[in-house]
Amino acid sequence: MRPFRLLVEVQVTPQSNQNSPIPVTLVAVYDRKLYEQFSQMAAKQWYTQRDQLRRDHPGGDVFIEWEWEFVPGFTPPPVVVEIRGNAVGAFVFANYRSPGPHRVRLGPHQRIRINLEEDDVTVSTLAPPEGS
């Protein structure tokens, strides 16, 4: 299957995460069992278990991740993420200091905006550019 290109924009509220940098990971999952496991994980669990998950599933066959860290009030440039066409689904995990799952399941979109708000993360779907 052909790769899927996803344009990711990020908006960071000035007081996000108690005015502290926020680690964010986008994970594309290619295994149904692992997808179900990830769908139950809070971001804190992801960040605690990810090194072991990488050791248990080397090579990027069952999941691939993209990692960033964003500073409150800073607007980074958009990035394009290429996801293999056989992905079961994808998630965004944001490692906030506040309690909560801080996990968002992504749908099959061409453009998204990750909104790093004061105490939680949301994802907005953006319309594809005209002519596409």
6 neighbors 110 (Cβ within 8 angstroms): yes
% of the chain beyond a pLDDT of 90: 78
Work out whether strand 22-29 and strand 89-94 pair parallel, antiparallel, or are unpaired. antiparallel
Tens digit of pLDDT for each residue in 73-110? 888 999 999 998 889 999 999 999 999 999 999 987 78
121 neighbors 114 (Cβ within 8 angstroms): yes
Could you give phi then psi for residue 18, rounded to 5 degrees?
55, 40
Give me the helices (H) in the chain, please.
Answer: 32-39, 43-56
Query: Cα separation of 132 and 119, whole Å?
Result: 35
